[in-house]
Amino acid sequence: MKYWCQYRVLEPPGVSEKSVPIELVVTDHRYSPPNISISHEKIVEVGTNVTIQCCNQGYGGIIFLHKDGHSAPVQHQDPRGGGTVTFILVAVTPADSGTYRCCYHPKASLFVSTPLGDSITLEVTPSPAPPGAELVSRGNLVVAVVRGCAAAIIFGLGIFFVIDARSLWIWRDESLGGEGI
């Protein structure tokens, strides 16, 4: 069932807008929680697609995937006559690390939920550097240093030529006795 708040004022007469609705779902322990499984190791690298399956033993209804610490489900699906759904976490990041559980809302009453089932914990780790990546990184550093030195030399030569040209003009003007001005 969904609930929201609203208020009325007498002076000047009026009614507020409705608040954001919240849904009240009651946990019914008469239903057994769904089973959960994961298709990969529980420790995966960043960018991996992870498949989590939840099975509600054929009771029907909508199955929800929850992550501990989040109030709303991460995903949900209707198994359409079956009792198993597959949730895919695409290209996981460290933010996807955590503990996951499933529950379902039986078709007979969509505002009733089973208790959360057993949990699986997923840990997402950074991808290891490919072999030789350190050498490439050092090579890039050397190239950057050489380019920086070359730029400094070119800049210095430019300044030298400007100063030399200026002194040549000053010398020329003095040797002409200022007649060219």
* pLDDT tens figures, 122-180: 999 987 766 655 555 566 777 777 787 777 778 777 777 667 767 666 666 666 665 55
Strands of the 84-89 sheet, one edge to the other: 35-38, 50-55, 84-89
Q: What is the pLDDT of residue 97?
A: 94
How many angstroms separate the CA atoms of 108 and 120, rounded?
28
Q: Is 22 helix (H, G, I), strand (E, B) or coil?
A: strand
Highest mean pLDDT among 17-31, 63-77, 119-133, 162-176: 63-77
Q: What is the pTM of this model?
A: 0.60
pLDDT mean over 67-78? 89
- Is 96 in a helix, a strand, or coil? helix
